[in-house]
Amino acid sequence: MSVRPRIIVSAVATLAMLGAGPVAARDADPALQSLPGSTLNAVTVDLDGDGAREVVRLIDTPGPGFLLEAWEMRDGWWRSDRSTEVALDHGTDPPDASVEIASLLIWQHEGIERAVLVTAVGQDGEGFGFGETCCLAISEIRMGAESLDLAPMPFPELGVQEMRTADLDGDRTDELIVSSTTGVTSDTPISESTILEWDGSRWSPLDSAGIESGWGWISAVASGTPSAVFFGPSADGELTRVTAPNGRGRVETEHLPLGQRFDGWIAGATAERLLIVGSDGIRMVHWPVGGTPAVAGHVPTSSYPSVATIGDGADTLVLTMDGAQPPSDGPPTVSVRDASLRLLGTVEPGEATLGIWAILRPDLNYGAFSRNIFPYFGPLPGAIDGRSASVAGGMLIQPDGLGGFDHTEIASFVGMQPVGRAGPDDGWLALGDGYFGGGRYAYLFPIGSSFPPDAGRFVIATIDRMLAPGPGQPAARLIDAVKLPSNGEETNVLAPADGFEVEISAEPGSLVITTIDNRLETRDVGSAPVSLEIRPPRRAPDDEDVPFERWIAVIAPDGRSSTLHLRGTFVRTDPSASTRASTPMFGLRATIEGRASSMASVAVNGETVAVDADGRFSAEVDAPIWPTDVLVTVRDPFGREIASRVQVVGFLDYRGLPWVAIVGAGILGAGAWLFLRTPGRRDPVPVAFGGDGTLEEIDSD
């Protein structure tokens, strides 16, 4: 016997009694509106038939039960004046350690999408996907005059842990495929599934036998109409396909020869093609109706790449991003392939996302982190310019209609997943973090413990805002540090020995993150800026300058990100300068010039002089004809200074003359002069008088 949720009280009635009126989202920017409370699950669907989708969401409450709300766009703001508190009947014999579970489904009835609430009571503590459930209830959500009404949809008594909606027979009304685990073989859960159809008054099993699969969960639902549901592949390659031609259930089970124990999943499907991801790459499998599956293509990639498929027919694109964890050798690129897995090209991450990947190093400790900060990778709901689209690394990727693809930079979608398009002309995008299930599938087992503590944020943003690139660098102010000239891609910084602070201004509700050693440091932004302390390593030497590099990311409430890349030096050595003085010949002015340490200020005889970007400086001072000391003071940006003295001499600075050469030249010159001026010794020359060769006596008288 099924038990439907009991409507305890209409929240709008309570608000009216309190005089509170409707709840409205309020933000500084109308293009981004945050919804209050912790969102567990959400869908977008046109509840009132006016052609614009509302946002329907489940909210966690302090006590038992859930709050169901509908939000619609009015006068430029998203408002909620219809809500319902939902309580669950635990039955007469609930499971031990029971917890309440609820999820939302989109269900198509006669071509019109409707919202469905599914609730159950489950058993906690049995691990992901195990444990009993009871008291399953399904209700269609309808827009009442003053509240949300829940119309029961009677359901057979089944133990259900998973639900999917899909139009298996092509009649424009979805069937409901429900599954539960019945055991485990070789560490693989065995599932039993049933197809249910809506007959206008209740859900009844389709004319088919139960489906038993060697793979515990529904792996994929094929795109297109009529659709198909796939289970597998199991470890030994078992695949199961469920269809309902002519309203009769059909189950096909085959084995895909993989040649090894398989450990992957189906990432995308059409009625006869499957894209399968494994530890050794991706495979395209062709499985004709009534035939056997065969591998049509295999591309080796990194272990378990992230995979998304968009488009159909010749416009099908298969996107792979290597590695589900942060890469160790740089940001991941996206490979774009066609339906045959032929490589069409690669796409690099957007600028705003590069900083996020720089922070998400493989060696970081994420244990204490309270929010998801990984960039979203997957399809974007709805069409952009008439074409399907996917988001990958802050890039929008679309088929170009000519067998190729286009890509452009958009918002980075960090930690936020698209829920659906909403509002007039589908001009808004609902985004959430923390809900599980939603759309066309629902999981009905306890998963709350797998959420980070701060999960549950929910925003609605204009599609134009989300298709615009990120804001670049965040608004930041350095405290006790000096910004140096840079190339624009990074901020060069000179910091004091014991560190500095960075003050970040961002939208309220944003998250600021950085890394300290091997852990993440976070700050939530409220109405005032937040400050981050940037400190040198604990074991940094005291007598050496310490270079550093630091990334700081700001994640807006809608997942748009901006990053600040700091690169610089913690200055732990005294300022320094090389200085010299020169005086022109016969001049009475001297030039003092030199080069100081980075960002230092220089004063000559107490007068500040200009210093260029390279630290060079020059100044003129008076130079008397006697030696005079000139005081040169160098001060770094953090107040430490050194002083030195240089001597100048005016008119003729004999100190700078080459005295060795001068003295040597003087000695040589003096020697030459003496040599030339001093007569040498000569032999006597006889003089003959009288001509006979005899010396005559000369009378002195």
Q: What is the mean pLDDT of residues 643-670?
A: 75
Query: 262 with 236: CB under 8 angstroms?
Result: yes
pLDDT at 346 (0 to 100) = 93
Q: Are 587 and 623 in contact (CB under 8 A)?
A: yes
Instruction: Say yes or no to pLDDT of 72 above 70.
Output: yes
Can you give the pTM of this predicted structure? 0.80
Half-sphere exposure of 515 (CA within 13 A, CB side): 23
Smallest Cα–Cα separation from 570: which of 481, 495, 491, 493? 495
Residues 288-305 have a mean pLDDT of 84
Give the per-residue pLDDT at 625: 83
More confident residue, 576 or 113: 113
String of DSSP letters for 296-342: EEEE--SSS-EEEEE--GGG-EEEEES-SS--SSSPPPEEEE-TT--
189-222 pLDDT, tens digit per residue, is 566 778 889 988 999 887 655 666 555 567 788 8
pLDDT at 694 over 60: no
In this structure, of 48-62, 601-615, 655-669, the range with the lowest mean pLDDT score is: 655-669
Strands (E), 525-679: 530-534, 546-555, 561-570, 577-582, 589-596, 601-604, 607-609, 616-622, 628-635, 641-648
Residue of 288 and 65 predicted with greater confidence = 288
- The band of 128, judged by pLDDT with boundaries at 50, 70 and 90, is very low
Written as one string, the DSSP assignment of 453-505 is TT--EEEEEEHHHHTSPP-SS-EEEEES-EEEP--SSSEEEEE-TT-EEEEEE
pLDDT averaged over every residue in the chain? 80
